[in-house]
Structure 1
């Protein structure tokens, strides 16, 4: 990875780490499914009017949108609304890194090595430590919901890579913006069914008040910086490098998230949770950092296998 792309990756880390504070503020004003639908609807409306759809297969665009947009945030927002601490959420959501490795082996034929499997096992052990700590102090359900959000993110990562792999010259920003077209209607439908057909809209109207400005500030941050800037840069990196190269960057998001939550929300994780966090990050880093060899199809070289060969990745990133 070039120094420029490393800097872009660190920019994403900061944007996404602070994004959890914005989510915390937004969820104080809106119910989770409605808030998730609202954040993407704000993007989707101008995208449908002004941004040309990238020439990628619909199935991969839908996988990207369902995984990254619907599953990740439906589970994450619900977890945080039901008691998952903001800083700990930023950590547990990084379970997407080992999940991405496993799904990469399935969908991209990236062979897992013994060291990677060991790293995944260590990361799972760390999640178990955090889960045990949560069960001693609070409900376990928010943790499980956040893990489900991490799995959704991993599916989104695979969808974005497959979309870029099958379409030469796809604009990463356009791909990210069109991903936002997928979640709004399903999320608003879920909100109407589970939160009430008017609850979210009444909360939105109520936010147009002197005390409601934090909700709109949080929404603006999530839309402009967390989604458009952060996810756009992430999609750009995922289109240029193997999943195992990009995924470790997300493991430093909790450093920003936990520090910001401590500074602004006075959230102090327990020593056991911090030990579990170190175990998770160590295991996930091991799982996602080892180089993997991609096995081509036995009868024919498919476009995905051709694009994902080590030689092609090296030539694509050469200065």
Structure 2
């Protein structure tokens, strides 16, 4: 890998890691579903006027907007509101690697190497220890929401594959067009119409900083760089680098919010990420692991 490309990729990993702290900045005072909705509005407009619609059926864009917007980032944002530390949210979202593997096995009849099985077992053990030895940085409702987000990652990948799009970036931009409406509808369903007026009246600089960081450096710049790298390098070389997202998320959570892990959690999170790494990085004797077929353009 060229040094310039490696620097670009690591820069994106830093941005995607810090993104979880920026999500927390917004959801501290505002409804997480509405914060996510504004994020996607900002990411879509005016960019959509400069990106040609991909040659796919509208139903795929609609389904992607629902799954990507509400299923992944609506739930990930809600998990932080419901007590999950921003750094832990990033770590636990790596569960999507495991759910992607299971989708590959169930839907595409892919096989798992012994290395991948060991990685899954190590990851699940690390996850269990992290939950048992929480210092309040993991809550059951937060864990439930981040698990839903992790399950939705491979579903978003399935939608992209079914659409047979040749432009992942354009598909993402046009798919995000359909993300805000279900997020707003869900927020109103839970909180009533008053939540719209309250959000408008109380909107402040922290909210703008949160949504603009999520929309532009994280989503647009991050996807642009990542998709370029996907075209140049094999996923087996790129995917393990996404583990850096959790490292930078834990670091930013500590620096910005003073988030701490217990000693058993440091060990278990390390084991969790090592296990994920074993799943992501296939052995030489095996074809590309299932996760690499459906792997997302990641922490956008």
TM surpasses 0.5? yes
Deviation of the 1:59 alpha carbon:
5.0
Q: Equivalent residue for 1:268? A: 260
* Whole-angstrom distance in 1 between the partners of 2:263 and 2:255: 17
The structure-2 alpha-carbon separation of the partners of 1:242 and 1:82, relative to structure 1 and needing over 3 Å to count, comes to same
**Residues 95, 150 of structure 1: 8 Å contact kept:** yes
Q: How does 1:92-241 map to 2 (within 5 A)?
A: 92-107=92-107, 110-134=110-134, 139-160=139-160, 163=163, 166-168=164-166, 170=167, 172-207=168-203, 212-238=204-230
* Whole-angstrom distance in 2 between the partners of 1:241 and 1:109: 25
**Residues 111, 294 of structure 1: 8 Å contact kept:** no
SS of 1:134's equivalent in the other structure is coil
The structure-2 alpha-carbon separation of the partners of 1:26 and 1:141, relative to structure 1 and needing over 3 Å to count, comes to same
Q: Which structure has the larger Rg over C-alpha atoms?
A: 1
**Residues 94, 250 of structure 1: 8 Å contact kept:** no
1:293 aligns with 2:296: no
Instruction: State the Cα RMSD in Å.
Output: 2.8
* Whole-angstrom distance in 2 between the partners of 1:240 and 1:151: 28
Unaligned runs of 5+ in 1: 296-307, 309-319
TM-score (norm 1): 0.79
Instruction: Show CA shifts across 1:31-84 (max 9, x none).
Output: 011111111122334345443211134454445433332211121111100111
Deviation of the 1:250 alpha carbon:
2.1
**Residues 110, 293 of structure 1: 8 Å contact kept:** no
Deviation of the 1:156 alpha carbon:
2.4
TM-score (norm 2): 0.84
The structure-2 alpha-carbon separation of the partners of 1:21 and 1:236, relative to structure 1 and needing over 3 Å to count, comes to same
* Whole-angstrom distance in 2 between the partners of 1:141 and 1:124: 19
* Whole-angstrom distance in 1 between the partners of 2:288 and 2:209: 44
**Residues 97, 251 of structure 1: 8 Å contact kept:** no
**Residues 104, 110 of structure 1: 8 Å contact kept:** yes
The structure-2 alpha-carbon separation of the partners of 1:197 and 1:242, relative to structure 1 and needing over 3 Å to count, comes to farther
1:65 aligns with 2:65: yes
**Residues 37, 183 of structure 2: 8 Å contact kept:** yes
Q: Equivalent residue for 2:296? A: none
Deviation of the 1:87 alpha carbon:
1.4
The structure-2 alpha-carbon separation of the partners of 1:24 and 1:266, relative to structure 1 and needing over 3 Å to count, comes to same
Q: Equivalent residue for 1:280? A: 272
How many residue pairs match? The answer is 288
The worse-fitting range, judged by mean Cα deviation, of 91-100 and 101-110 is 101-110
**Residues 54, 170 of structure 2: 8 Å contact kept:** yes
The worse-fitting range, judged by mean Cα deviation, of 147-156 and 129-138 is 129-138
* Whole-angstrom distance in 2 between the partners of 1:122 and 1:159: 29
